[in-house]
Amino acid sequence: MGFDRPGGLAAIVAHPADEGFTCAGALALAGEAGRTTRLLVVTRGEAGNSERKPDPGLTAIRESELVRSAEALGLNEVTLLEGYPDGAVAEQDQDRLTDEIMAWLGNRRPEVLITFGAHGVTGDPDHVATGSAARWAVERLAPEGQAPHAVFVVAPVFGPGSHRFNLSPEEQGATHRVDITAVAARRVAALEAYESQGDTMGALADLRIALDSGKPIYEGYTRVRPEVPAPHPRFDTRLI
């Protein structure tokens, strides 16, 4: 897909599968509402094993899994960057990463952007570096009038399951709670695509239990640009 459909919702993450764990529901909902949905992935996930050591044989597997996840979510475009090793994004030239993200955003002009917050949800250095570069890219685009209208970071405080992370204040203080119940099965399908990743099993089990319960399933986000002043009187249910 070219750039003939600017706007819509974009997400920027560090690894294949990050979208399934974080913002799959929001992407699927936006697509079903007729919005253009795009995903930028910084690494190819070649260190996605229990040792977290690069395995060239994993690269093609992770890319194939990413394609299947994108199909499950109905994404319009997926972009993989070149030259950023899985597990070592923070050790690369951060100005170069910011410039590449800036160019990607400037060409596509999404209305709304989702990325990682200051702690990267799990503290993974790749997540932290990716989120930081994405937000710097937005700030550099703003004077030219090309920045997304709103930027959100993932705030996984409403997700199914009992696991809780050591989150930063912005990741813990969600401003938006999105009901993804109607597309939760598509988030399941996106995670199921990553057969090489053992850590999807727990998330899938939690999602399936939540689906069987019949209760609403949510994703949480904090709007960081423009900021939402506290206190928040009620949660919105839409990002775009």
In a domain, 1, yes or no: no
In a domain, 231, yes or no: no
In a domain, 15, yes or no: yes
Residue pointed to by tokens 């992407």: 27
Give pLDDT tens digits for 165-206: 889 999 998 999 999 999 999 999 999 999 999 999 999 999
Give me the number of domains the chain comprises.
1
- Residue ranges of the alpha helices (H) in the chain? 18-22, 24-32, 56-73, 94-108, 125-141, 169-172, 184-192, 200-213
CATH number at residue 72: 3.40.50.10320
In a domain, 194, yes or no: yes
Mean pLDDT per 10-residue section of the chain, whose length is 240 residues = 75 98 97 97 91 87 97 98 97 98 98 97 97 98 96 92 82 93 97 95 93 94 92 83
- Residue ranges of the alpha helices (H) in 122-239? 125-141, 169-172, 184-192, 200-213
In a domain, 146, yes or no: yes
In a domain, 144, yes or no: yes
Provide the domain limits for residue 111: 9-225
In a domain, 95, yes or no: yes
In a domain, 94, yes or no: yes
pTM: 0.95
